[in-house]
Amino acid sequence: MALIALAADKGSPGVTTAAVALAAVWPRRTLLAETDPAGGDLVYRSAAAHGGQLNPNTGMLSIAATARRGLVPDQLWDHTQPLAGGLEVLVGLGMAEQAAGLAGIWPTLGRAFAQLAESPHAPADVIADCGRISGETPALELFPHANLIVLVSRTEPEAIARVRDRAAALGARLHGASRGGAAQIGAPLVGVLLVADAGTSAKLVHQVNDMLVAGQTGARVIGTLADDPAGAEQLAGRRRGRLDKSLLIRSARKVTVDIHQSYGGAWAAPAPGPTAGAGR
């Protein structure tokens, strides 16, 4: 199993929606962690399993004191809450100012997230919503512990150019660069997830992959997520309908299948755990 970190370079391409959608259809037990230092969104957009609101004080905020004394991966479950549908979430900070309370413990969190896959009691993959990573956001300290870093991007030309440059910068930061400037390929891998209209996605994948290769980024497109506002509203519980039939969830299922076909063998844990989560 694995730690998958989702992030964006700039703007609002839908990182949280992408993280929830992928976690909801992930084929193994999954913990969705809101690790955006600017604050999480799920408290405001999603209902808890009991029908009320999520508790903003149980999650990243409550885990800070625990992590300063050391963090055993299974302790993560003490700070999670189930969403309506069953997906287990580690709720994010309420505001950016609270991120100061996590100073110095981001690597500890990264190790715990990565090691949760090997828990003898409740193993799970972790999908981390890291928000925007321009500048020196502390969420970058999670990345060395990840198996896959996914940059979420829209398809406007400026967005593609930015994600290409961000992928190159991340590759150089994590893996170093050769004499010619190209990022070396290694773990964690860097992938790009395009949020696109379903009718143009296949052509876009080829075009963006060509740009990533030409830019010597070491990254590649791992899939496309449907630009589906109605499906996003259903996922957040603000609109009725068959969520499993939405373009968003159907495309998320394909992305997870492609990820596991490409990388799953390398991430296999010795003893798979129980499955849980929304949309299964």
What is the C-alpha end-to-end distance of the chain, expressed in Å?
Answer: 18
Cis amide bond preceding 188, omega within 30: yes
Instruction: Summarize pLDDT for 204-226 with one digit per residue, the tens.
Output: 888 999 999 998 888 999 999 99
pTM of the model: 0.89
Instruction: Summarize pLDDT for 228-277 with one digit per residue, the tens.
Output: 999 998 888 778 878 888 999 999 999 999 998 887 766 664 433 333 34
- Closest-CA residue to 37 (of 61, 67, 12): 61
* Token pair of 203 as six digits: 């052509």
Angstrom distances, CA of residue 168 to CA of 81, 83, 135, 217 = 36, 36, 14, 4
**Spatial separation of the C-alpha atoms in residues 132 and 142, rounded to whole Å:** 13
> Is the CATH number 3.40.640.10 carried by domain 3-178+186-264?
no
Q: Cite the beta strand spans of the chain per DSSP E.
A: 3-8, 30-34, 81-82, 88-90, 125-132, 148-153, 189-196, 220-226
**Spatial separation of the C-alpha atoms in residues 216 and 190, rounded to whole Å:** 12
Secondary structure (DSSP) of 76-130: GGGG-EEBTTS-EEEB--SSGGGGGGGTT-HHHHHHHHHHGGG-SSS--EEEEEE
- Give the pLDDT score at 198: 74
pLDDT category at 1 given cuts 50, 70, 90 is low
- Give the pLDDT score at 201: 74
- Give the pLDDT score at 172: 86
- Give the pLDDT score at 90: 96
- Closest-CA residue to 10 (of 130, 136, 129, 134): 134
Name residues whose C-beta falls within 8 Å of residue 79's C-beta, 6 or more positions apart in sequence: 58, 59, 60, 62, 63, 66, 90
pLDDT above 50 for 143: yes
Exposure string for 185-197, b = 16+ CB within 10 A, e = fewer: eeebbbbbbbbbe
- Give the pLDDT score at 273: 38
Helix (H, G, I), strand (E, B) or coil at 31: strand
What average pLDDT does this structure show over 118-129? Answer: 94
> Is residue 94 exposed (0-12), middle (13-18) or buried (19+ Cβ within 10 Å)?
middle
pLDDT category at 278 given cuts 50, 70, 90 is very low
Please provide the average confidence, as pLDDT, over all residues in the chain: 87
Instruction: Summarize pLDDT for 165-194 with one digit per residue, the tens.
Output: 999 999 888 877 654 455 555 678 899 999
Strand pairing report for 220-226 and 189-196: parallel
Angstrom distances, CA of residue 189 to CA of 5, 61, 90, 185 = 10, 29, 24, 7
Helix (H, G, I), strand (E, B) or coil at 60: helix
Amino acid letter, 183: A
Amino acid letter, 236: A
pLDDT above 50 for 54: yes
Instruction: Summarize pLDDT for 87-107 with one digit per residue, the tens.
Output: 999 999 988 888 888 899 999
224 close to 253: Cβ distance less than 8 angstroms: no
- Domain ranges in the chain are 3-178+186-264
Angstrom distances, CA of residue 215 to CA of 5, 119, 209, 210, 220 = 22, 39, 10, 8, 11
